[in-house]
Chains A and B, each alone.
Chain A
């Protein structure tokens, strides 16, 4: 079309697309027997408006297709109005309209939304991050020169504004799941039809927000999993009736936020995997491992569609590249649930920072179960393992895992217990620097293919820390062969239970105490701590926070004093609340010591602990 304002054409296309989507919804409703009363009129209205709009801007193919649709609807109206036989041909016609003669040029979008390239948003994020660093440098300079109070106030205002700005930019990167699910009902219907099955798709949690990069990456795996479920999970209607199931299978796509992760589940009520296959699981082999083994398929025959497990390895790899993990559970005869656990955002991440060989590395905090000190290890076939609550966890030096040159580790090096699903490994490093929120950045297309990294982040001092891919670590560390080190001499050290709901506080106390030669156990709240005290007679002292979920520090103290055998166990209260009342309460309840977090110093802690137990 020449001589037409391209903006008008773009707007017309948008209008046509909206009308097509409405028509498709009505057609699918008719097919499922839930046709609205005015279905015929509604279809007619949209077909008519498409014809008009398309004709006006010279989209001749679309106009012709709409005219044909209108004609069939007219005939149908004359013949009594049963639309059901028309659904399939009309869906085809609707596709023709949608596709149009040529791919859409990037349309000019009406005023209520603007399209911004993802890379522009990322560039904004970079700039904001740099501004934050710059802000800190100014702050630093000002403190050095003994700056004025007013300037200090201005700086804190600036900091608040900057964090608002950062949040706003990050929000631009997230979109709800339902921004990609619009096409799914149609796709599922078509797939079911090809397979001679009836499938009802239910989507819940469509409003769940996800990083757009993850969202784009996850679309294909979802379709793939849906294909699998329809082709090999859900039975034919007659078979289902015999089994006492409703003839239409149920395919459920669920999304929900779980902490800093988003779980996307695809559940079907089909036949599930065979009992014989389920019997092969166990002994450290999960169903996921079995099904996602390359080339594995539960389908004996070759189908037009992917086999139950065919390509599950690809789906798993895909999900892992996005920093997530995949888990499959299934019940023979009752169905299969595939769960993709994905990071909420790729841009902002809580991560644990550690150092090895002079370089700093980050691991997503969600993937780190705990931090331990590597003491005695056992060796089997050249692989070292660490005894952790009855399990043998493989240990590897981070430098070996990454293949980097680094001086040997010191005595009792800290190790991160990294786990995905039921596999976990211990990766030792020089020092753990604590957890923080980081902005994750890609390594760029040149280095994107390098295995082992999710990306990198810029630290407060302007340096770079590489962000490690925990899935890769688990795979590599389990096979990394390292020489068994001679076990350090073992002495019976006092065992201290550190109770705090904050990971950082826990790990900081642990590292101080372990460095001083104590054995440390940790618990996240009073209840967990009480369980450990009851179960483990070897605990010599408890160091507890006051405010914690479930059971607070004072309640824990009371509960310990009420235990006949452990009533005299030394308990020290660590708190951020200063006040005579609190202190007296602690002493009244029978605390042996009271440590303020504000004055928290390594030596104070060690002095107090040393007074109460022997190292």
Chain B
């Protein structure tokens, strides 16, 4: 069954975030670093009055990339964070993962038009970042 995903690009790779965990997509704006908090956190930003932690998605999946400009605001299990990415490629229905992926941050992967797209395990990622 097809599910809706937000497709993002980091360091030339593609990932899909299930839309049920996506609150919104936004420009990052100014990131305030929080000394003492290491990677993959970049810091916090002001999302219309909310102080939102920003996570460098590239660093999370181990893909070095350019400076992230956009973020996918994700929410699961009471945890919220903005996943900073280079590009948001679009929103659309995809068939869903049909193969395993090695990275623990992924539910799996799918091959679409010759491009391998990793499906992000949002609850797992956020829980993994929690103290």
Contact = CB atoms under 8 A, between A and B. Distances in A.
Interface of A: 126-127, 129-130, 133, 359, 399, 402-404, 441-453, 455-456, 458, 462-466
Contacts of A450: 34, 36-37, 131
B130 interface: yes
14 contacts: A129-B49, A404-B33, A444-B51, A445-B80, A447-B44, A447-B53, A450-B37, A450-B131, A452-B36, A456-B32, A458-B51, A463-B32, A464-B46, A465-B32
B94 interface: no
Interface string B24-51: 0000001011111100010011101111
B61 interface: no
Contact of B51 (A133, A403, A443): A443
Contacts of A451: 36
A444 B50 CA distance: 9
A335 to B, nearest CB: 39
Given A130-B48, A446-B80, A458-B46, A402 B41 contact: no
A458 B49 CA distance: 7
Contacts, number: 81
A243 B12 CA distance: 82
B103 interface: no
Contact of A447 (B37, B49, B78): B37
B44 A403 contact: no
Contacts of B44: 443, 447, 456, 464, 466
Contacts of A445: 78-80, 130
Given A450-B37, A452-B36, A464-B32, A444 B53 contact: yes
Contacts of A127: 49
A403 B34 CA distance: 10
Contacts of B30: 462-464
Q: Which of A133, A403, A447, A465 has the most CB of B within 10 A?
A: A447
A477 to B, nearest CB: 14
A130 B50 CA distance: 9
Given A359-B33, A445-B130, A463 B46 contact: yes
A468 to B, nearest CB: 10
A120 to B, nearest CB: 13
A445 B49 CA distance: 16
Nearest to A447: B53
Contact of A130 (B49, B79, B126): B49
Given A126-B49, A443-B44, 12 more contacts: A126-B48, A133-B49, A402-B36, A444-B79, A444-B81, A446-B126, A451-B36, A453-B34, A458-B51, A463-B46, A464-B30, A464-B45
B129 interface: yes
B60 interface: no
B19 interface: no
A537 to B, nearest CB: 44
A419 B33 CA distance: 26
B34 to A, nearest CB: 6
Interface in B42-98: 44-46, 48-53, 78-81
A458 B36 CA distance: 20
A464 B48 contact: no
A446 B130 contact: yes
Contacts of A442: 51
Given A402-B36, A445-B130, A446-B129, A464 B51 contact: yes
Contacts of A443: 34, 44, 51, 53
Contact of A446 (B46, B48, B81): B81
B51 A455 contact: yes
Contacts of A466: 32, 34, 44
A126 B50 CA distance: 6
B84 to A, nearest CB: 14
Contacts of B34: 443, 447, 450, 453, 466
A126 B51 CA distance: 10
A447 B51 CA distance: 11
- With a 10 A CB-CB cut-off, give which of A129, A446, A453 has the most chain B CB atoms: A446
A447 B35 CA distance: 11
Nearest to B29: A462
A589 B48 CA distance: 55
Contacts of A359: 32-33
B73 to A, nearest CB: 12
Contacts of B53: 443-444, 446-447
Contacts of B80: 444-446
Nearest to A439: B49
B44 to A, nearest CB: 6
Contacts of A455: 51
Contact of B41 (A133, A441, A447, A456): A447
Contact of B52 (A444, A448, A452): A444
A133 B48 CA distance: 10
Nearest to A463: B30
A465 B51 CA distance: 10
Contacts of A130: 48-49
A441 B44 CA distance: 12
A61 B79 CA distance: 40
Nearest to A472: B36
A466 B53 CA distance: 12
A120 B37 CA distance: 28
Closest 8 CB pairs of A and B: A449-B131, A404-B35, A126-B49, A402-B35, A130-B49, A464-B32, A456-B51, A441-B51
A450 B36 CA distance: 7
A446 B131 CA distance: 6
A464 B46 CA distance: 7
A181 to B, nearest CB: 30
Contacts of B45: 464
Contacts of B78: 445
B66 to A, nearest CB: 22
B8 to A, nearest CB: 20
A466 B41 CA distance: 15
A403 B35 contact: yes
A445 B79 CA distance: 6
A447 B103 CA distance: 24
A127 B47 CA distance: 11
Nearest to B48: A130
A407 B81 CA distance: 30
Nearest to A361: B35
A186 to B, nearest CB: 33
B12 to A, nearest CB: 28
B131 A448 contact: yes
